[in-house]
Structure 1
Amino acid sequence: MDEVTIPAALDHAADRFGAREALVDGPLRLTYAELARRVRQCARYFDAHGVRRGDRVALCSPNTWHWVIAALGALYTGATLVPVNTRFTARETRDVLTRANVSALVITGRFLGSDRLADLGDDLPPALLRIPVEGTDEPREGVTEWAGLARFEPEFTSPAEPGDVSDILFTSGTTGRGKGAMSNHRQALGVAAAWAACGELTEQDRYLVINPFFHSFGYKAGILAAILRGATLLPQVTFAVRDTLALIEAERITVLPGAPTIYQVLLDAPERRAHDLSSLRLAVTGAANVPVALVERMQRELSFDTVLTAYGLTEAVVATMCRPDDDAKTVAHTCGRPAAGFEVRLGDLGEVLLRGPNVMLGYLDDPEATARAIDADGWLHTGDVGVLTARGHLRITDRIKDMYVCGGFNVYPAEVEQALGWLDGVAESAVVGVPDKLLGEVGKAYVRPRPGVTLSTEDVLAHCKKNLANYKQPRQVEFRGELPRNASGKVLKRVLREENR
């Protein structure tokens, strides 16, 4: 692959696919040549505001065309992109901005009933660019509105090098605080190229991206994969089944990755039969076991020619992936074979270990956590338990960690438990994932109140709503006088999970 930096990949796409549609979002339609022009214009904005190679630019906005241009503009400047989860509270967002020491922030104003910029207060990076999502925002001193980019000349030469850190993606925290996984340009493009190859992505594809851009999948297997293959990218700001069905039909969508929940909702939608979905060809979903019946229904009723499953994590993005010639049972019960140059083996207790060129560089400012995650021989310890079939397919069977997946988002109970500890009257808590028909798993909080204190379910849920992103918020609360423990006093979450099976 000659395009060893993301700016070089965009320049190559503009040369090769210049007149083809690159980005479609509502009335906006940009060709690859126009996309590259807008990106260079955005890079000039960052450069004019003092952003230099190696600086960090945070981006907090939902899936819109602005996200694509802002992200690529930051990367074109030679800066490191720091995507921020739009579901984070202001406290969680400020924590990421501080730890990453960002020089610029691109952020939406009003979105889903909250003014994200106003919520952050006044202690902000010197360069502020605001994306309009829900109408016009009130003017604010020191903030450049998106329309202001038009005054910048679209000429810029990127200083980015293949080994430069391209992005820092913050995980949720197994110990209550997330870690920033760092990758360079070569690695980011490597995983994108591998995903595109397995999915047989081409310039004929029209790719509807529901997976959030702030997530490694939406960004690398979405934006970057499309650029490498010349596909047309169509972001969806939030998943709404009627809008999704209408987009598939109107825009002749061919590629639609997502969590299993998305496909189940589409299948169950009463209005589905009124839409022409025959353009769909490729679905890619997560590592959790998917019923064979769901795969078959996706092919039969949603018109997908190919349904694939894959396995990855922020620290590796795409590690294994099924191939188009795998049968429905293999797709449903495995995560495919190694991809993107990865080796896979099983360590102690069956833990999945990964090694390859696209393992993260390490965690931001945390050499101890990096050393725990990546051993001296270069193997990434994932914390997931799996088995390898005779044909080399990986199947995830359990998690060493307590992490569960809610609606496609990883939730680490320690982070939720830490937040619960801030609620006056909580002596102790234990959070586990419990089955949910729509979201796969949701959190259930077992709370032991302090003696003499009365807490209600509403108290706990309101506190979590204030302090945690919505996918992290427990949906159920149960108060206990005691929690089950082993001989050493550790809470037995296995027992709590079994109560809900």
Structure 2
Amino acid sequence: MAVDPSRHTVSAVLDRAAASYIDAEALVDGEVRIGWAGLRSAVLDAARALVGMGVRPGDRVALCAPNSAQWVVAALGALHAGAALVPINTRFTATETLDVVRRSAARVLVVEGEFLGRDREAELRALSPELPEVVRLPTSWVPADVDLPALTGDQLCDVMFTSGTTGRSKGAMSAHRQSLGVAEAWASCGELTSADRYLIVNPFFHTFGYKAGILACLSSGATIVPQPVFDVAETMRLVERERITVLPGPPTIFQALLDHPGRASFDLSSLRLAVTGAAVVPVALVERMRSELSLTVLTAYGLTEAVVATMCRPGDSPETVAHTCGRPLAGFELRLGERDEVLLRGPNVMLGYLDDPEATAAAVDADGWLHTGDAGTVDEHGNLSITDRLKDMYICGGFNVYPAEVEQALARLPGVAESAVVGTADARLGEVGVAHVVTAPGSTLTADEVIAFCRERLANYKVPRAVEFHPALPRNAMGKVLKTRLRKENP
């Protein structure tokens, strides 16, 4: 029997959620509380309004706004209208935002009226008088009297632009079936159900917040609780007030939560699951999350071009969770290429980069393997461990140094809250390491103490030759350290 292709669309998944979770809350954002049927109704209004503005299947709708109920409705409305969603990083400058709007040939731009003291529409109009039709949030969508298009799983669902930290951002394209495939696999791995309440701190413009967040909730019936800007005290208040059960995020979020002096005054007992991932997740942090918060901690690995590729499972041993980012899921194959580069292949590897066949060919080879740029190892059970970004590896005295290993050691030094190690040129050794360190509140450390600690635990060529102290490390919106900026600051 043939499978109905419309079943693999976001609109079909929302239809099923509205029919299945009759009494459950779908979305909670401050005073806004919407059930699944109410969410579907709001999304259909937005979709018909967009169609009334001229949006047709295959068009793009760009969306630049913080996490909110309005973002969810606008995004799902665009998808229901047959458009491809183009989320835009809210940290982009007006110039970067305009570049994405133009390159995506957006038919409509949905933008937050004001956010963090900025009026993005005004900034864009100052740069260019030629913008697509603009919808300012918050808004009340006025539906047109139109029919919505029939969709299939192979239609373009979204264009996710990379952060642009290593060059011009690129738009990774995914079909409906692909975006849903990784979302459903993530939800299944985390054992999400309609009883869960999911605090989404990860930005919606990122695959983690949108696909492993919103779409994962759609497929499982879990309640979406957006947080527009991470604030550790507000996060703990939301966990207590909304009885949050699921809290994914980058390692920095959990470090801040664990170290907050007021943590004991909040009831965080509802939390059952934390999922974290980045190029480097300190083992010591995972151990603290498990012991101090008494919750299941899973680590995962992914990137814009594949979303979530590997993930630990709830039944995995503490050692597996602490030392690896799990096994492939969502139909991915995994192998290691030259220089132990992590290669991925499967049905959910991106369709390609928007209007950039050259970059697509460089990223995905003729056999369908995505070259991630990450170096890793795979244990006998198939669990992947990311050792570092290939571009972050440096050579000291003829020996390869992976900064992640040094950072894992530094995470065990009392007084170190965070660290990032980068290589810098050295006349004698070629390159040497510089440790950029953020100390924990109330702690005092000297460079000599940091170096001495490393000497006790690492081979000499791995020991940083200099230490720089910072109040905070420079990061992108998803919490990844901007090592390019640190390299420029090296002494």
Whether TM exceeds 0.5 here: the answer is: yes
- 1:237 partnered with 2:220: no
Rounded to whole Å, the distance in 2 between the matches of 1:156 and 1:202 is 32
Q: Please tell me whether the aligned partners of residues 337 and 343 of structure 2 are also in contact (alpha carbons under 8 angstroms).
A: yes
Aligned partner (choices 381, 405, 411) of residue 371 of structure 2:
381
Deviates further, 155-164 or 241-250: 155-164
Relative distance call for 1:434 and 1:183 in structure 2 (3 A) is: farther
Deviation at 1:174, TM superposition (A): 6.8
Whether 2:82 is the aligned partner of 1:78: answer yes
What is the CA–CA distance in structure 1 between the aligned matches of 2:166 and 2:269, rounded to whole Å?
46
Q: CA deviation at 1:327?
A: 1.9
User: 1:59–1:105: 8 Å Cα contact kept in structure 2?
Assistant: yes
Structure 1 range deviating more: 73-82 or 263-272: 263-272
CA distance in 2, matches of 1:174, 1:242: 29
- Structure 1 residue 16: Cα displacement: 0.8
Q: Which residue is 2:312 aligned to?
A: 322
Question: In 1, are the aligned partners of 2:278 and 2:480 still within 8 Å (CA)?
Answer: no
What secondary structure, in the 3-state scheme, does the structure 1 residue paired with 2:48 have? helix
Q: Give 1:105's match in structure 2, choosing from 100, 103, 109.
A: 109
Specify the code of the residue in structure 2 equivalent to 1:99: R
* Corresponding position: 1:128 with 2:127: no
Q: Say which SS state the counterpart of residue 153 (structure 2) adopts.
A: coil
SS of the aligned residue for 1:52 comes to coil
- Secondary structure in structure 2 of the residue aligned to 1:190: helix
Q: Tell me how far 1:291 sits from its aligned partner.
A: 3.6
Whether contact under 8 Å (1:277, 1:303) holds in the other structure is: no
Residue 178 (structure 1) shift: 1.1
Counterpart position of 2:68: 64
Q: Within 2, Cα distance between the matches of 1:236 and 1:376?
A: 41
Q: Is 2:210 the counterpart of 1:219?
A: yes
Report the 3-state secondary structure (helix = DSSP H, G, I; strand = E; otherwise coil) of the residue aligned with 1:315.
coil
SS in 2 for 1:192: helix
Task: Tell me how far apart the structure 2 counterparts of residues 32 and 433 of structure 1 sit (CA, whole Å).
Answer: 51
Amino acid at match of 1:234: V
Alpha-carbon distance in structure 1 between the residues aligned to 2:281 and 2:153: 37
Partner of 2:390: 400
* Structure 1 spans left out of the alignment, 5+ residues: 133-145, 406-410, 414-431, 440-463, 480-495
> Where in structure 2 are the equivalents of 1:14-33 lying within 5 Å?
14-33=18-37
Asked if 1:53 is matched to 2:43, the reply is no
Alpha-carbon distance in 2 for matches of 1:274, 1:170: 40
Using the alignment, how far apart are the partners of 2:32 and 2:359 within structure 1?
43
Q: Is 1:167–1:184's contact at 8 Å kept on the other side of the alignment?
A: yes
What is the TM-score normalised by the length of structure 1? Answer: 0.78
Query: Structure 2: how far apart are the matches of 1:90 and 1:434?
Result: 33
Partner amino acid, structure 2, of 1:52: R
Q: What is the aligned length?
A: 415
- Give runs of aligned pairs for residues 25-424 of structure 1, distance below 5 A: 25-121=29-125, 122-132=128-138, 146-147=139-140, 149=141, 151-152=142-143, 156-173=147-164, 176-304=167-295, 306-402=296-392
Q: Is the 8 A contact 1:56 1:82 kept in 2?
A: yes
Q: CA deviation at 1:160?
A: 2.1
Shift of 1:303: 3.2
In structure 2, distance between residues paired with 1:362 and 1:477: 31
**Equivalent residues of 2:250, 2:278 under 8 A apart:** no
Q: AA paired with 1:168?
A: V
TM-score (norm 2): 0.79
- 1:364-417 CA deviation, whole Å, 9 max, x = no partner? 111111111111111111111111001110011122234999xxxxx9x9xxxx
User: What is the aligned-residue identity percentage?
Assistant: 59
Superposed CA offset, 1:432-458 (max 9, x none) = 99644489xxxxxxxxxxxxxxxxxxx
Does structure 2 retain, via aligned residues, the 8 Å contact 1:56–1:81? yes
Contact map agreement 1:279 1:303 (CA 8 A) in 2: no
- Structure 2 residue identity aligned to 1:21: E
- Structure 1 outlier segments of 4+, above 6 Å: none
Unaligned residue ranges in structure 2 (runs of 5+): 394-402, 405-419, 423-432, 441-473
Structure 1 stretch displaced more, 77-86 or 1-10: 1-10
Query: Counterpart of 1:49 in structure 2: which amino acid?
Result: M
Deviation at 1:173, TM superposition (A): 3.9
Contact in 2 for aligned 1:289/1:333 (Cα 8 Å): no
The Cα shift of 1:330 comes to: 1.5
**Distance across 1 between alignment mates of 2:329 and 2:487:** 40
Distance 1:126 1:174, change over 3 A: closer
Range with bigger deviation, 5-14 or 288-297: 288-297
Distance in 1 between residues matched to 2:228 and 2:325, nearest whole Å: 28
Q: 1:195 to 1:434 in 2, by over 3 A?
A: farther
Contact 1:312/1:318 (<8 A) preserved: yes
Contact 1:261-1:438 within 8 A present in 2 as well? no
Distance 1:72 1:112 in 2: 24
Letter in 2 for 1:393: N
Query: SS at the partner of 1:319?
Result: strand
Residue aligned with 1:167, SS: strand
**What SS does the aligned partner of 1:113 have?**
coil
Task: Report if the CA contact (8 A) 2:280-2:388 is conserved.
Answer: no
Q: Deviations over 1:261-313 (max 9, x none)?
A: 10111111111101111100010001444344422321232231x10000110
- Alignment correspondent of 1:444: none
Question: How far apart, in 1, do the equivalents of 2:203 and 2:279 lie?
Answer: 19
Q: Report the 3-state secondary structure (helix = DSSP H, G, I; strand = E; otherwise coil) of the residue aligned with 2:307.
A: coil
Q: What's the CA shift for 1:478? A: 6.1
CA–CA distance in structure 1, aligned partners of residues 279 and 263 of structure 2: 25
C-alpha spacing 1:471/1:477, structure 2 compared with 1 (3 Å)? closer
Note the C-alpha offset of 1:333.
1.6
Match of 2:13 in 1: 9
CA RMSD of aligned residues (A): 2.8
Mapped to 1, the partners of 2:56 and 2:384 lie a distance apart of 42
Does structure 1 conserve the Cα–Cα contact (< 8 Å) formed by 2:21 and 2:36? yes
The farther-off stretch of 199-208 and 263-272 is 263-272
Deviation at 1:472, TM superposition (A): 5.6
Q: Distance in 1 between matches of 2:278 and 2:481?
A: 18
